[in-house]
Structure 1
Amino acid sequence: MTVQQRIDAYWSGRAPTYDAFQQQREAEAGDREVWSRVWTGALPSTPCDVLDVGTGSGVVACLLASLGHRVTGIDHAEGMLATARANAAREDRPPRILEGDMVAPDFPDDSFDVVAGRYVMWTLRDPHAAIAAWCRVLRPGGLVAMVDSTWFPRGVVADGDAVQLGMREWYDDHVLAALPVAEASSIDATADLMRDAGLRDVAVVPLDELLSLDLVRGAAPGHVVRTQYLLTGRSPD
């Protein structure tokens, strides 16, 4: 199996429980409001063409569409795609959900104003190639906006969270070798990667309001509460 096939197999298997947790959080008072503020603060106020890479269960795509943006979500894991399409079908303003590779999105040049993603950077194979592809499909000066964290600073092999989630079966040494920030101990590694890949004006903002909420509600099963960050950068003009 290729690196991407192994990643897709893991996330297809995780889709039902992952979505159940996301839907539980969406239903809890405060969660959607906090995430709405995160994305409203990150994206332009006028409606934009947004590509949600690694859309997973489609939660971010649906939220961004509800905020008035024109959203296309792509994913490569069949289980996640089926879940995202079901979630999108229940929305008044549904995003478009397509099968697609977040490292090599198959869209014409200058198609989008924003490339967004949540919990994507850590599991992104060949991120330099991915960011170059994002810049290609972005209009000049377009925005990349990612939310992520340092999920496995002790390493996936030793991390009890990863063991509990059954990750090690799929995230083997071959896969991890292709994911340069999967085991990073600082979010600075992800920011540096974005700069090295050619994004300008890269900024990192800790999401303190989200952290406060997670400290009360707890983390997803198999995880501990960690600070999450909004990372943004601009494509070349």
Structure 2
Amino acid sequence: MTEQQLQDSINDYWTRRAPDYDAYQQRPERRDLDVAVWADIWSAALPEAPADVLDVGTGSGHVARTIAGLGHRVTGIDLSPGMLEIAAEHAASDACAVAGSGMTPPRFLTGDAVAPDFAEQSFDAVVGRYVMWTLRDPEAAVASWVRLLRPGGVVAMADSLWFTDGLGELYGERPEGHLPLADARSIDEVADAMRRGGLVDVSVTPLEQVRELDREHGVAPGHDLVLQHLLTGRRG
């Protein structure tokens, strides 16, 4: 399998999963609780609003929409057509709901999280949730994000160790060296990849509040209860 075939396989996988993935995030018994908890997490990690924020691997747009609700100008990118279609539908609903409020719903574009096609120093922050493990080349991705940041800009990534027993054939056969963080056995491996990509002051914060929500309401089918982390760093 070539690198492009791997990425195509990833895109196809998430397009197939998009409806069920989004439906789980929209469960009425948990949706508002999730938004409130994650709004606090992102608010603490990001510059003062309004800032220009890029959400890489935006999926169905949960992070982008939450951050837009904090008053930021958000662009979400993804390579999964199915995910982007759902994100755009949510953005259209948001636009109607917030008309006249001064809030700007996020815009969603086709884009590669590893090599986002934007001008240098276009953003104050780059964010992502559950993205690091599925990057074909994490260090190259982080280096791309650093290039997009204005001086002092931040990267904030939420992730965990999802595959302690191995990724298996989830995306098919992987070219050697690709998706290395899918095999991580410590969250420090993710932090080290961020440092090697060029970020400074990298820190790791356990997200106990998210684990408590998972304990109370359960996790997605096929997943185990794990501790998630927020990893942050900045452009020097």
Q: Name the TM-score, length of structure 2 as normaliser.
A: 0.91
Identify the residue that residue 13 of structure 1 maps to in structure 2: 16
Identify the residue that residue 142 of structure 1 maps to in structure 2: 153
Identify the residue that residue 139 of structure 2 maps to in structure 1: 128
Aligned residue pairs: how many? 225
Contact 1:26 1:32 survives alignment (8 Å): no
Identify the residue that residue 186 of structure 2 maps to in structure 1: 186
Structure 2 regions of 5+ residues with no counterpart? 99-103
| CA displacement at 1:16 relative to structure 2 | 0.4
| CA displacement at 1:46 relative to structure 2 | 2.7
Deviation sequence 1:217-236 (CA, Å, 0-9, x none): 11111111110000000113
| CA displacement at 1:106 relative to structure 2 | 0.6
Contact 1:25 1:31 survives alignment (8 Å): no
Matches within 5 A, 1:26-175: 28-91=31-94, 92=98, 93-157=104-168, 168=169, 170-174=170-174
Distance 2:50 2:32 in 1: 26
Q: CA RMSD in A?
A: 1.5
Distance 2:31 2:198 in 1: 39
Moved more, 55-64 or 124-133: 124-133
Give, as a single letter, the amino acid of the residue that structure 2 aligns with 1:20. A
Give, as a single letter, the amino acid of the residue that structure 2 aligns with 1:145. A
Give, as a single letter, the amino acid of the residue that structure 2 aligns with 1:135. V
Residue 224 of structure 2 corresponds to residue 221 of structure 1: no
Deviation sequence 1:123-147 (CA, Å, 0-9, x none): 0111111111111111112100000
| CA displacement at 1:45 relative to structure 2 | 2.5
Distance 2:64 2:49 in 1: 16
Distance 1:68 1:176 in 2: 42
Distance 2:10 2:155 in 1: 23
Deviation sequence 1:172-213 (CA, Å, 0-9, x none): 231574111102121111001111111100000000111111
Are the structure 2 counterparts of residues 103 and 181 from structure 1 closer, same or farther at C-alpha, using a change threshold of 3 Å? Answer: same
Distance 1:64 1:186 in 2: 28
Distance 1:108 1:28 in 2: 35
Q: Name the TM-score, length of structure 1 as normaliser.
A: 0.91
Contact 2:25 2:31 survives alignment (8 Å): no
| CA displacement at 1:26 relative to structure 2 | 7.8
Give, as a single letter, the amino acid of the residue that structure 1 aligns with 2:123. F
Structure 1 regions of 5+ residues with no counterpart? 158-167
Residue 212 of structure 2 corresponds to residue 201 of structure 1: no
Identity rate, percent: 56
Are the structure 2 counterparts of residues 145 and 176 from structure 1 closer, same or farther at C-alpha, using a change threshold of 3 Å? Answer: farther
Moved more, 70-79 or 23-32: 23-32
| CA displacement at 1:33 relative to structure 2 | 1.0
| CA displacement at 1:3 relative to structure 2 | 1.5
Give, as a single letter, the amino acid of the residue that structure 2 aligns with 1:142. G
Give, as a single letter, the amino acid of the residue that structure 1 aligns with 2:146. C
Give, as a single letter, the amino acid of the residue that structure 2 aligns with 1:21. Y
Which aligned runs of 4 or more in structure 1 are off by greater than 6 angstroms? none
